[in-house]
Structure 1
Amino acid sequence: MLKAVESRPRGGDTEKITINLGPIDLGQIDLLVQEAFYTNRSDFIRTAIRNQLQTHADVVKQTVSRQTMVLGLRQYTRADLEAVRDAGQQLQIHVLGLASVAHDVSPELARAAIASVHVLGVFQATSAVKSALADRIH
């Protein structure tokens, strides 16, 4: 019915973030790029983030397990949500990564089938569904 997939985002599947760095840190990054250790600043930052995430991988896994979160990608189709609603139940969505609600899910179906949404990462849904769930998104 519902499936979770662990995956690393590909090129177009990334989110943009903004960070502030001091001039010395930025200069050191630029030096490493100039010396061809990295292709650009973004490559350096992505690598540094992945290294830190790898360093703390055990803590992430323990926390995900303790909080009963899905790690990776979780997609909710209209059929998934209709089945939950028809069973008289509601989902508590807890995802670390990407949670996605299909584009053909109506706001009414989302409210009927989803009790709460807690996503550390990205929550993708139509603006109408996000609006209908606004009081349930944490």
Structure 2
Amino acid sequence: MPRTAPAKTPESEKITINLGFVDLGQIELLVQEGFYSNRSDFIRTAIRNQIERHAETVRQIVVRKSVDLGLRHITRDELATAQAAGQMLEIRALGLVVIAPDITPELARATISGLSILGTLQAPDAVKAALADRIT
């Protein structure tokens, strides 16, 4: 029987931004002159520079708010364990939160009291709907 490769979590998410004509023209000039390979390269570099500039502030906030940083996987076993212990989870994350596809809306609602995500949530649509009033 052939093995199925696990689903790969995307490493990035597409966003759309609006720029003024002058800003866009300056970016195009820098790309034409070879400073950046394309617009996206310029924008990613600018964002990374700003994140680095504020790295210490972000670190302090993450510690103060007890936020998971990076990738947070929520598994069926984790929620089943919480349910058996009569616990509700308050999940705070900066990055990507992935709720496993085998988690039912009922289990999610019975065990997740809140989801505060600065980033992206990947979860089955039914689970997102079940938790809609708990996601901030």
TM above 0.5, yes or no, is yes
- Aligned position for 1:100: 98
Q: Aligned with 2:90: secondary structure?
A: strand
Pick one of 1, 5, 13 that aligns with 1:15.
13
Q: Which amino acid aligns with 2:124?
A: T
Cα distance in 2 between the residues matched to 1:35 and 1:24: 17
Query: Is there any run of 5+ residues in structure 1 with no aligned partner, and where?
Result: 1-11
Q: Which amino acid aligns with 1:83?
A: T
Q: Aligned with 2:117: secondary structure?
A: strand
Pick one of 128, 132, 135 that aligns with 1:134.
132
Cα distance in 1 between the residues matched to 2:78 and 2:33: 51
Pick one of 25, 28, 44 that aligns with 1:46.
44
Q: Encode CA deviations 1:13-39: one digit per residue, 9 max, x unaligned.
A: 211111111111111100111111111
- Aligned position for 1:27: 25
Cα distance in 2 between the residues matched to 1:47 and 1:14: 14
Q: Which runs of 4+ in 1 moved over 3 A?
A: none
Higher gyration radius (CA): 2
Aligned-residue identity in percent: 60
Q: Aligned with 2:16: secondary structure?
A: coil
Query: Is there any run of 5+ residues in structure 2 with no aligned partner, and where?
Result: 1-9
Cα distance in 1 between the residues matched to 2:36 and 2:44: 10
Q: Which amino acid aligns with 1:18?
A: T
- Aligned position for 2:112: 114
Cα distance in 1 between the residues matched to 2:35 and 2:84: 55
Q: Which amino acid aligns with 1:125?
A: A
Displacement after TM superposition at 1:75 (Å): 0.3
Cα distance in 2 between the residues matched to 1:50 and 1:26: 19
- Aligned position for 1:56: 54
Taking structure 2 as the reference length, what is the TM-score of the superposition?
0.91
Taking structure 1 as the reference length, what is the TM-score of the superposition?
0.89
Pick one of 76, 81, 96 that aligns with 1:78.
76
Q: Across the two proteins, how many residue pairs are aligned to each other?
A: 127
Q: Aligned with 2:71: secondary structure?
A: strand
Q: Aligned with 1:13: secondary structure?
A: coil
